[in-house]
Amino acid sequence: MEIYLDNSSTTRPYQAVCDKVAEVMRNNYGNPSSLHRLGIAAEKEVKAAAEALANALGVRPDEIFFTSGGTESNNIALRGAFLASRGNQIISTPVEHPATLNTLDYLEGEDCHTDFVPVDSDGRVILSEFEKLLSSDTAVVTAMLVNNEIGTIQPIPQMAKLIRSKAPKAVFHVDAVQGFCKVPCKARELGADMISISGHKIHGPKGIGALYVKRGTALSPIIFGGGQQHGIRPGTENVPGIAGLGTAAAHCFANSAEAAVRISELKERLKNSFIQNIDKIRVNTPERSAPHILNVSFGGVKSEVLLHSLENEGIYVSSGSACSSHKKEPSYVLTEIGVDRAMIDGSIRFSLSEFTTAEDIDKTAAATADIVKRLRKLNLR
């Protein structure tokens, strides 16, 4: 039996999502911009998905724009908001996803100045330092709701309050790709002007995402085409993907509170088993964190060796962010929070979902303990 604990990388789609995508591809294949019956049927699917996402975020359906995923959503948000602004400062954190950090690198060549607010040993923004960076020149602030490697929840509402006080003209973008349907994500409660989400993180299809843009937020387009989606994201909509995303969001949001409690309990069960049965470990995930992510460093072993050893047992995990797992450099997130290089080299991310069972957790805990002890003995020879 396979045990999948790499849900921060991607999730298994709901069966209802697979059925919906197939149904739309077979029957509602019209262009949603067409005026005939098939076009109108396709347009209804797009509108229904927008309503599902709007309900989950507590916003208006016409504030939802569909994209190809979290990376594109972040690019549209950051580049579009900066182009539409008069300021030249962007504030972010050093523990953001590469989709944000690499976009900020690009904008540095476009007369943008980026300031990174320090984080504490939990990877959480130091609000007093954040407040010092805010000014009348701040154009955009961007921060992730949940860190994809260690599960830290950023103090987004408190950041929003400081922005409104110190830099009221700034646009606040929240990367909620790891947080949507995992932690509370109502736009008004967060204080966000823009929110990025991705379908394949919530048991939806890959290659589809969305960007919430609060009405009245200045945003310049970064791609140009036929004017679909008010020109913010032109191009014929991916109707099957959009319908699948809407189905996933509706189901995931309806069960989010109950699922979060159960998943969090399973995460604690896994963490406690590691602490009790394996010495020389470091739990990198803070106490107050998202329910589904547990990052642990195992001293004396290499994460890649441990990962493949677990894979041989039918257990699938990650050695960090899947987007940067092929790189040889140590995790910049773990480096930023002060984890020793030797411990970084032995770090594994276990990420759960609503499909995870107690049996999965117990088997993973036992297998990990056995493998770590065996690898350490081999390393001593």
**Catalytic residue annotation:** 323
Going through 277-376 in order, the beta strands assigned E by DSSP cover: 281-283, 293-298, 315-316, 347-351
Whether the Cβ atoms of residue 285 and residue 294 lie closer than 8 Å to each other: yes
**340: Cβ–Cβ under 8 A, 6 or more apart, which residues?**
none
DSSP 196: E
**268: Cβ–Cβ under 8 A, 6 or more apart, which residues?**
none
SS3 at position 146: strand
SS3 at position 170: coil
Distance from C-alpha of 244 to C-alpha of 240, rounded to nearest angstrom: 6
SS3 at position 83: helix
* CA 181 centroid distance within chain: 10
First to last CA, the chain: 33
The one-letter amino acid at 23: E
Distance from C-alpha of 263 to C-alpha of 203, rounded to nearest angstrom: 15
The pairing of beta strand 209-213 with beta strand 315-316: unpaired
Whether the Cβ atoms of residue 117 and residue 129 lie closer than 8 Å to each other: yes
SS3 at position 324: helix
CA dihedral angle for residue 173, residue 176, residue 180, residue 182, rounded to 10 degrees? -130
* Token duo for residue 54: 């709007």
Question: HSE on the CB side for 77, CA within 13 Å?
Answer: 38
* Token duo for residue 100: 């944000």
Phi, psi of 236 (to 5 degrees): -60, 130
Distance from C-alpha of 153 to C-alpha of 47, rounded to nearest angstrom: 31
